[in-house]
Structure 1
Amino acid sequence: MASMLSRLIIFPTPPSMIVPVMSVVSLVAIAGLGVSEILGKHLQYSKFWNLNSAKSSRKQIQLSSRTGMLVLYVPAFLSGVASFVLYPNHDLRLFLVKATLTIHFFKRVIEVLCVHKYSTSGVVLDSAILISSSYFSATSTMIYGQYLTQGFPEPQLDLKYPGILLFMLGTFGNFYHHQVLASLRTNDDKEYKIPKGGLFDLVICPHYLFEVLGFIGIFFISQTLYSFCFTLGTIVYLIGRSYATRRWYLSKFEDFPKDVKALIPFVF
């Protein structure tokens, strides 16, 4: 049954061991971070920067929020740009994978520079390196894995066009809700507030919800084992992150509306 499903929606696995190994590593590592978020062990950036630091006596290097976020996203963006030189060809699916990943991280860099407004929190260097390495290796491996499928029989079910629509929906929805978050603060306002507007009236992390849709779109375009594992791991991580975010708001704001869910309207 699993083999039939994989032939239906996923390319055959290339003979190289790199992609299968990285697929398992990516899924376990990223999903593990999501479970850690639920258990209260957070990657230390944004509002969660100080939650674990009091429990550790080790001196931690803190980056400013803007610098830390650039460290997170610029390497993955450059990997996407470089892929157009490293893997030049006319295959539509490979081009779309390169384009969507590059656009995704370019958008993030632009948001860091032009959209986000930052609190007094920062980004711990250890967390920045971990997340940045994950994004860089994921981008590089996903594109390389797609390149290795050249000449392989296509999956029976072609999902790349629905994938383009999902990616666009996820990208615009994520960007819109980041703008809503930014609008909550003036330039001198560093405090957190309960978000309002858009889907924030239903879930506390609609930007994560649309990020999930964007990555599902990339998987639909790619249809490789690695993109499936990375997307699944990312979904688990964002479930954990949104759960922790809702818990944080409940602890900080007595008037936080209890009917606002974490990630999925009316469900979770």
Structure 2
Amino acid sequence: MSVISFVTVVHGASQEIRGKHLQYSKFWSITNAQKRIPSKRGMILGYTPAFLLALASFWILPNQSFRFMLLKSVLTLHFFKRIFEVLFIHKYSGNMALDTAILIPLCYLSNTATIVYAQNLTQTFPEPPIDLLYPGMALFLVGISGNFYHHYLLSKLRAKDEKEYKIPKGGLFDLVICPHYLFEIIESIGVSFISQTLPAFIFSISSGSYLMGQSISTRRWYISKFEDFPKDVKAIIPFVL
């Protein structure tokens, strides 16, 4: 599952950079021949199965180590936050292809299940010689907080009935066009540090690759749409990329 996840997501990252986007973003134009559902409903569908699995893991695999309990907690919190943002923060005005609405929850569900299952297999193992648990907690909290804050800034760009895109301002948007992705990568690194298993590290690397690819595409899109887009604003890493 780690190999499948890595190959699949890194392939998705290369597709994003080359302009072949997953069919739910602003880069994608829907065709009449494709079955679709409202984007908001699609994103709820995308996050709910993984959230329910992470929540159910407390009852399916109870009385585990502190590391395992913390891992299940951060995964549950991660997907709860995403569902909360879909319901109350993000603004949606388009549709999502039905096949994409099926692919996204399968990816999140399979990766969450793999991370939880792999952690369960380590319960009889000794603790790692270099313990990254507490640095992981710190990175997770920084990542989830920064991600939520920049999602909130994005939600305030447009009034209720507005549909046109604007250049984001505030927070780290003055340095990079996708700070929400930067903090999501930090969050995923935090999860992998808490877990310290191969599937968690592989997912962190592969999802980070995909988000970097999407950030590069996002910056390219803004440059093409806005003549006044500041050229010193990078894609995801301040002053670097």
TM-score, L = length of structure 2? 0.97
| Residue aligned with 1:267, SS | coil
Stretches of 4+ aligned residues off by more than 2 angstroms:
none
Q: Which residue of 1 aligns with 2:213?
A: 240
Tell me if structure 1 keeps the 8 A contact 2:64–2:123.
Answer: no
Tell me if structure 2 keeps the 8 A contact 1:65–1:123.
Answer: yes
| Residue aligned with 1:48, SS | coil
Q: Which residue of 1 aligns with 2:169?
A: 196
Cα distance, 1:155 vs. partner? 1.5
Q: Distance in 1 between matches of 2:143 and 2:155?
A: 18
Tell me if structure 2 keeps the 8 A contact 1:49–1:123.
Answer: no
CA RMSD after TM alignment: 1.1
Q: Distance in 1 between matches of 2:159 and 2:25?
A: 17
| Residue aligned with 2:26, SS | helix
Give 2:118's match in structure 1, choosing from 122, 136, 145.
Answer: 145
**2:24 paired with 1:45:** yes
| Residue aligned with 1:151, SS | coil
1:1-268 to 2 correspondence within 5 Å?
22-50=1-29, 53=30, 59-118=33-92, 120-268=93-241
Q: Distance in 1 between matches of 2:45 and 2:221?
A: 25
Tell me if structure 2 keeps the 8 A contact 1:97–1:221.
Answer: yes
Q: Distance in 1 between matches of 2:221 and 2:105?
A: 24
Q: Distance in 2 between matches of 1:83 and 1:167?
A: 20
Report how many residues are paired.
Answer: 241
Tell me the amino acid that sits aligned with residue 4 of structure 2. V
Q: Distance in 1 between matches of 2:45 and 2:217?
A: 23
Cα distance, 1:122 vs. partner? 2.1
| Residue aligned with 1:49, SS | coil
Q: Distance in 1 between matches of 2:43 and 2:158?
A: 18
Could you tell me the percent identity over the aligned residues? 59
| Residue aligned with 1:46, SS | coil
Tell me if structure 2 keeps the 8 A contact 1:166–1:216.
Answer: yes
Tell me if structure 2 keeps the 8 A contact 1:46–1:122.
Answer: no
Q: Gaps spanning 5+ residues in structure 1: where?
A: 1-21
TM-score, L = length of structure 1? 0.88
Q: Distance in 2 between matches of 1:62 and 1:203?
A: 32
Q: Residue deviations 1:96-147, cap 9 Å, x none?
A: 11000110000000000001112x3222111121121111111111001100
